[in-house]
Amino acid sequence: MTDESQQTSPMTNQPPGEEIPVYLVEFKGSRKELYRDPYGLTINRGQWVIVQVERGEDLGRTITGVSTERVNTANIKPLPILRLAIPDELHNQEQNARKEIDAHDECLKLIAKRELKMKLVDVEWQLDGNKITFYFTAEKRVDFRELVKDLASMYRTRIELRQIGARDEARRVGGLG
């Protein structure tokens, strides 16, 4: 007979009752989200990690650990950190950064062609290529459904257009926000 209090969960590598560590992870454009480490990885501040996102995987850098109690109190359900990033994944992110420049240029052309009153701010290509997010500002509501169709047919992946405010724009382009 084994003492159950000494067993660890195969999914979390954590002893029963022990809190799963939570980290604040930063992505391109100073976007930050909370992620949990259910696998008991040794994660240091500033380390590149692969995280689970809504549809796939993405690359981010750990900023700091977060109090699990605060996360539980706020009723937040962070997605998991899957693993530490390897050099190939960092290289893929560099390639994606080059693709983002091209996608930005193509989107600007389509915005002009469709005469949309919006300002494209930034493009973020998810590490696994499952999604490209185009960030924009606009004074009024913009019907960009046709633009999304154009981009989806061009890139053959999920396209998200996200309207952001002036503070987020400043943050994404490297200013204070």
Contact 103, 125 (CB under 8 A): yes
Q: Are strands 32-36 and 79-84 parallel, antiparallel or unpaired?
A: parallel
Residue 51 backbone phi and psi in degrees, to 5: -120, 155
Q: How far apart are CA 26 and CA 45, in angstroms?
A: 11
Q: How far apart are CA 50 and CA 25, in angstroms?
A: 10
Contact 25, 47 (CB under 8 A): no
pLDDT of residue 120: 97
- 5 Cβ contact partners less than 8 Å away, ≥ 6 residues apart: 15, 16
pLDDT of residue 6: 42
Contact 10, 22 (CB under 8 A): no
Domain boundaries, the chain: 4-85, 91-172
Mean of pLDDT values over 68-83? 83
Which SS3 state, helix, strand or coil, does residue 18 take? coil
Quickly state the pLDDT bin for 9 (edges 50, 70, 90): very low
Contact 120, 104 (CB under 8 A): yes
> 91-172 domain in CATH 3.30.300?
yes
Q: What is the mean pLDDT of the chain?
A: 87
Mean of pLDDT values over 3-26? 61
pLDDT digits (tens, 9 = 90+) for 91-113: 999 999 999 999 999 999 999 99
pLDDT digits (tens, 9 = 90+) for 140-154: 999 999 999 999 999
To which H or E segment does residue 170 belong? helix 166-172
